[in-house]
Chain A
Amino acid sequence: MNITIGDVVIPIPPIGQQVFMGAAGLAILGGVMMITRKNAVHAALWLVVTFFQLALMYILLGAEFLAALQVLVYTGAIVVLFLFVIMLLGLREGPQLGGLHTAQLWAAWPVGLILMVEIITVILFSSQPRQAQIGDIVGGQTVVWTTEHVAEVGGNVQALGQTLYTQYLLPFEIASLILLLAVIGAIVLARKEEPSEVEEMIPSVGISLARRTTSNSPQEEQLEKKLFPALGRRRAVRVPGEEMPTVEQPSGYGAGTTAGVEVEGAGYENGGKG
């Protein structure tokens, strides 16, 4: 298959190469745009472009499950988490956002490009890996995962499952521990309240409700008055400069809903003073 324009014959590459070239070009474009954008939101969106092209390349390489994982975890969870944090911080354009390391700029690009040239040189001039039948150990015998064999066991997902839950079972369990630690660590690091304050508030209905000074809407205010009469009363008597009526601390936390509301009022008072 060729395109002939006059005397010039341009061969059309096979479909796999066409897909690869498109995906590679867009992925590199997305990477370059990502590291050069000034706005962090734009950078995150260009990163999404790169991640989608990488998912396309995974499909080309026969890793359909990992392509789905790439879209779900990277673009669906990690980039969205980035966007959440960018918008949560709400830092406007300005010096606090950080631009480029102007002092390092003249060195960083050459160093990075030299690294790129080095890696590509090594790739092109080294001998390609032999078609070694490395395979994996499944049920005590070596399995060579050729394309035909992957199709025999039912597909990419089945092949991945057969190795992940046999040969890589221990790392899989350790990965679950890493995720658990990350969850706990993220909660501990991102928590705003002091630990003692949280201990006082935990028996109440909500932590954020006690710290809020005004309601967002009249309907919400009505609902709060209905649900938390003590809170509404405290709001009504709050006058600047006047001594706040003290709320007796209940002796125990298991005293029912009323005790919870009382404790919440105390938390509110602390928050107002602090």
Chain B
Amino acid sequence: MFMLYSLLAQPQPIEPTTVSQTTGVPLAWFLAVSAILFSLGFIGVLTRRNVLIIFMSAELMMNAVNLSLIAFGLQLNSMAGQNFVVFVVTVAAAEAAVGLAIILSLVRQKPTIDTTDIDIMRQ
């Protein structure tokens, strides 16, 4: 009777693993680093006038988001985070190619990469 009951019983739930169990580092630390890097990229976009460095700051912000996606994916035992990072990397590569091509054609119009000087449309 007990054997039959154990056969009918619910299957043993899988014991999920967390970030701190796997790495020894709490999830919040990864998220904090991600937040700091994102804010640094944000400050870079706001303070710099060089178009190329503004682009690099945008890349830094994307990387910060990637880090938190992977950390959350490990915490929630899902591969969704890592799949999203694959797509973010794809879009970042496409964005860098198109953005740098735009900068090249802008510099042909006017030899400057200072954002305050790029006002061809106004003239």
Task: List residues of chain A with CB under 8 Å of any chain B CB.
Answer: 13-17, 20, 24, 27-28, 31-32, 34-35, 37, 40, 43-44, 47, 50-51, 54, 57-58, 60-63, 65-66, 69-70, 73-74, 77-78, 81-82, 85-86, 88-89, 91, 95-101, 104-105, 107-109, 111-113, 115-116, 119-120, 123-124, 128-129, 131-136, 144-149, 156, 159-160, 162-164, 167-168, 171-172, 175, 178-179, 181-183, 185-187, 189-190, 192
When the two chains form the complex, which single residue of B23, B77, B86 contacts A69, counting CB atoms closer than 8 Å?
B86
Check B104 against A85 for contact (C-beta < 8 Å).
yes
When the two chains form the complex, which single residue of B16, B57, B70 contacts A146, counting CB atoms closer than 8 Å?
B16
Check A31 against B40 for contact (C-beta < 8 Å).
yes
B108 an interface residue at 8 Å Cβ cutoff?
yes
Q: A40-B52, A97-B114, A116-B36 are in contact. Are A129 and B23 (CB under 8 A)?
A: no
When the two chains form the complex, which single residue of A51, A63, A148, A171 contacts B82, counting CB atoms closer than 8 Å?
A63
What sequence of 0s and 1s flags, for each residue 89-102 of chain B, a beta carbon within 8 Å of any chain A beta carbon? 11111111110111
A172 to B82, CA, bound (A): 13
Q: What count of chain B residues pass the 8 Å CB interface test?
A: 85
A160 to B73, CA, bound (A): 12
What sequence of 0s and 1s flags, for each residue 16-56 of chain B, a beta carbon within 8 Å of any chain A beta carbon? 11110011110111111101111111111011111111011
* Chain B nearest Cβ from A96, distance in angstroms: 4
Check B93 against A179 for contact (C-beta < 8 Å).
yes
Return the chain A residue nearest B107 by Cβ.
Answer: A89
For B102, the chain A residues whose CB sits under 8 A away are 189
A128 to B37, CA, bound (A): 21
Please name 29 pairs of A and B residues whose Cβ atoms are closer than 8 Å in the assembled complex, sorted by A. Answer: A16-B24, A28-B37, A31-B40, A34-B40, A60-B25, A61-B22, A66-B86, A73-B92, A77-B93, A81-B97, A81-B100, A98-B48, A98-B49, A98-B50, A98-B112, A101-B48, A123-B31, A123-B32, A131-B16, A132-B77, A133-B13, A133-B77, A145-B79, A163-B79, A175-B87, A182-B95, A186-B97, A190-B100, A190-B101
Check A63 against B70 for contact (C-beta < 8 Å).
yes
Q: A98-B115, A123-B32 are in contact. Are A44 and B56 (CB under 8 A)?
A: yes
Q: Chain A at the B interface: mostly helix, strand, loop or mixed?
A: helix
For A32, the chain B residues whose CB sits under 8 A away are 40
B105 an interface residue at 8 Å Cβ cutoff?
yes
For A62, the chain B residues whose CB sits under 8 A away are 22-23, 74
For B82, the chain A residues whose CB sits under 8 A away are 63, 65-66, 156, 160, 163
For B116, the chain A residues whose CB sits under 8 A away are 98, 101
